[in-house]
């Protein structure tokens, strides 16, 4: 947990849980695991138990002490919805987020199923209310008096709707994970929904995709929201009206390449396609980094790979030229895509 962070799309990290287990190819070179495992067996170190799941109740109330509003990445060293994290602990995390509306929280998961089940559950929302009441009623907790008063005035309604200061996101490293996780995210009550396409391991189509599968192909509306009829209403002149509305959509897309040992190169067009799809639907796009590998700008025909460089994607012409990527390190690779930075954030007012 840190008051500051080098992660470009956030301002602070908060880890009321640490440790995790791998679920999909995006986890292969998990930076959190590499970092935590380095300290396994070091007596007294925060990560003495490496990357094993550990609840950190002593960290739960930390955001209550941060007066200055900030964007906070929740569990940069874990996955909040891991099945070894009890519901009650997750409820306490949500209680703290409800009691600190000055902050914006970014909760990112690869456990979309549990996130949807919990946040759609009345029992879980009740557990959040109870956890928040317990914090407010305990004089030893660092909740300012005005916040206690405000909470007590409307204690019954904090979790009736999604918390406006909590953004929920899923990781999407390829199309397979997009097809599984995005529909679950759209089905989860949330004020703001986002995708982290990092490390991007393949092309991802978010817009008007026809999903192949066992059932009938279908169109997706992930960036635009599925069109449908809104609730009927009567105008002031007595007319019965029913307007067209769109369903939930993705509000923000982050993308980036992989860094660290064993990092895999990403084709530049994968980032460009995401950027262009977002631009088409007016969805903010944040290009976080190239990662270890950057395009050299060269098109190359080569039979044998040169150490430190790789050719990616299909040939771009009938002579067999392909795009060359070189491993130059995260810092040198930078984060400019086609000569400019893409640093857009979602509007914080829920749609």
27 sits near ligand SF4 (criterion: CB under 6 A): yes
Residues 2, 137: Cα–Cα separation, whole Å? 27
| Partners of 254 in beta bridges | 196, 286
In the bound complex, what is the minimum distance in angstroms from residue 112's beta carbon to ligand SF4?
Answer: 11
| Nearest alpha carbon to residue 172 among 21, 26, 270 | 26
Select the span of 16-24, 88-96, 195-203, 233-241 touching ligand SF4 (CB under 6 A): 16-24
Residue 193: Cβ within 10 Å count = 23
- Give pairs for 49-52: CB < 8 Å, separation 24+: 49/19, 50/19, 51/18, 51/19, 51/20, 52/19
By rule CB under 6 A, what count of residues binds ligand SF4? Answer: 10
Choice between 50 and 268, CB closer to ligand SF4? 50
Sign of CA dihedral 139, 142, 145, 148: negative
Please choose, out of 15-23, 178-186, 251-259, 308-316, the segment that lies near ligand SF4 by the rule CB under 6 A: 15-23
- Give the C-alpha separation, 316 to 27, whole Å: 30
Enumerate residues 103-122 that contact ligand SF4 by CB under 6 A: 110
Q: Which stretch binds ligand SF4 (CB under 6 A): 17-25, 178-186, 228-236, 320-328?
A: 17-25
Among 9, 14, 33, 167, binds ligand SF4 (CB under 6 A): 33
| Residue 22 Cβ vs ligand SF4, minimum distance, rounded to whole Å | 5
Q: Is 38 in the site for ligand SF4 (CB under 6 A)?
A: no
Is the distance from CB of 63 to CB of 14 less than 8 angstroms? yes
Q: Which of 30, 53, 117, 180 binds ligand SF4 (CB under 6 A)?
A: 30
**Alpha carbon distance 26, 24 (integer Å):** 5
Least Å distance, CB 12 to ligand SF4, is 18
Residues making up the chain, counted from first to last: 351
- CA 193 to each of CA 4, 283, 318, 331: distance values in angstroms, whole numbers, following the listed order: 23, 11, 42, 29
Given candidates 1, 12, 20, 178, which one binds ligand SF4 under the rule CB under 6 A?
20
Candidates 32, 62, 90, 192: give the one binding ligand SF4 (CB under 6 A): 32
Which CB sits closer to ligand SF4, 30 or 64? Answer: 30
**Cβ(99)–Cβ(148) below 8 Å:** no
Minimum CB distance to ligand SF4, residue 333 (Å): 20
| Site map (CB under 6 A) of ligand SF4, residues 63-82, x = contact | ---------------xx---
By CB under 6 A, which span of 28-36, 92-100, 252-260, 290-298 interacts with ligand SF4? 28-36
Cis status, amide bond into 131, omega within 30 of 0: no
Interface with ligand SF4 (CB under 6 A), residue from 23, 180, 328, 344: 23
Two tokens, residue 88: 């009650």
Q: Under the rule (CB under 6 A), what is the footprint of ligand SF4?
A: 20, 22-23, 27, 30, 32-33, 78-79, 110
């Amino acid at each position: 947990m840190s008051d500051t962070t080098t992660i470009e799309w956030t301002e602070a990290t908060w880890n009321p849980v640490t440790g995790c287990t791998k679920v999909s190819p995006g986890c292969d070179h998990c930076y959190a695991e590499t970092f935590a495992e380095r300290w396994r067996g070091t007596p007294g170190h925060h990560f003495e138990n490496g990357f094993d799941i550990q609840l950190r109740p002593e960290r739960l109330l930390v955001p209550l002490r941060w007066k200055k509003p900030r964007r906070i990445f929740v569990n940069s060293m874990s996955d909040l919805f891991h099945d070894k994290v009890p519901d009650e602990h997750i409820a306490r995390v949500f209680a703290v987020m409800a009691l600190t509306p000055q902050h914006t929280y970014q909760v990112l998961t690869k456990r979309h199923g549990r996130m949807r089940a919990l946040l759609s559950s009345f029992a879980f929302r009740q557990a959040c209310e109870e956890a928040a009441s317990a914090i407010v009623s305990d004089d030893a907790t660092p909740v300012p008096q005005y916040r206690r008063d405000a909470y007590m005035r409307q204690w019954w309604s904090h979790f009736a709707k999604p918390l406006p200061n909590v953004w929920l996101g899923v990781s999407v490293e390829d199309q397979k994970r997009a097809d599984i996780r995005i529909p679950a995210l759209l089905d989860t009550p949330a004020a703001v929904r986002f995708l982290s396409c990092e490390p991007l391991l393949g092309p991802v189509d978010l817009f008007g995709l026809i999903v192949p599968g066992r059932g009938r192909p279908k169109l997706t509306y992930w960036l635009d929201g599925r069109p449908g009829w809104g609730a009927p209403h009567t105008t002031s002149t007595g007319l019965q009206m029913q307007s067209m509305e769109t369903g939930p959509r993705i509000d923000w897309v982050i993308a980036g390449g992989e860094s660290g040992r064993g990092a895999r190169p990403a084709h530049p067009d994968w980032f460009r396609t995401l950027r262009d799809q977002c631009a088409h639907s007016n969805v903010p796009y944040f290009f976080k980094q190239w990662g270890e590998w950057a395009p050299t700008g060269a098109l190359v025909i080569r039979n044998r790979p040169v150490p430190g460089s790789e050719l990616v994607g299909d040939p771009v012409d009938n002579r067999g030229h392909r795009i060359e990527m070189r491993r130059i390190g995260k810092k040198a690779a930078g984060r400019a895509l086609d000569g400019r930075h893409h640093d857009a954030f979602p509007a914080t007012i829920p749609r």
